[in-house]
A = this chain, B = another copy of it.
Amino acid sequence: MRIGELAQRTAVSERSLRYYEKQGLLYADRTPGGHRDYPDTAVDRVIRIQELFAAGLCSAKIVQLLPCMRDKDGGPSETATPWLVQELSVERARIDGMVEELLRAREVLDEVISAASSPHPPTTP
């Protein structure tokens, strides 16, 4: 499929898709004229990449991680090296920390929101 369709199906901008390719995260065949031609599996892959970006992993980490993932494309999955496993464990711990922080912040928001919804005036608890 072409980049436009992939962008639409993944809700990721064409700009980002080209960036992913430059970072080695995504591969595309080329038409004789040079236009990108993505396999169907690219959709899942892009979504997965976005998930990992959202989790705060940088391109460099993701590019190492991808070949170790059990993709739908049935590509020859590599096994993570011990070194990579350790890197990923660090990321995992970081994610746990982020989740905790998010929940704490959510509590703060909830407190303010519920205080505003309660009938008590601000100065008299």
A102 to chain B, nearest CB (A): 5
Residue of B nearest to A107 (CB): B51
A103 / chain B contacts, CB cutoff of 8 Å: 99
Instruction: Say yes or no: A113-B96 contact (C-beta < 8 A), given A54-B105, A122-B77.
Output: no
A92 to B116 CA separation, bound complex (whole angstroms): 15
Task: Please determine whether B79 and A121 come into contact, CB atoms closer than 8 angstroms.
Answer: yes
Q: A54-B98, A55-B102, A104-B51 are in contact. Are A117 and B76 (CB under 8 A)?
A: no
Decide: A80 and B123 in contact? CB cutoff 8 A: no
Flag whether A11 is at the interface (Cβ < 8 A). Answer: no
List the B residue with the shortest CB-CB distance to A92. B109
Residues of A within 8 A of B (CB): 48, 51-52, 54-55, 57, 65, 68-70, 76-82, 84-85, 88-89, 91-92, 95-96, 98-99, 101-106, 108-113, 115-117, 121-123, 125
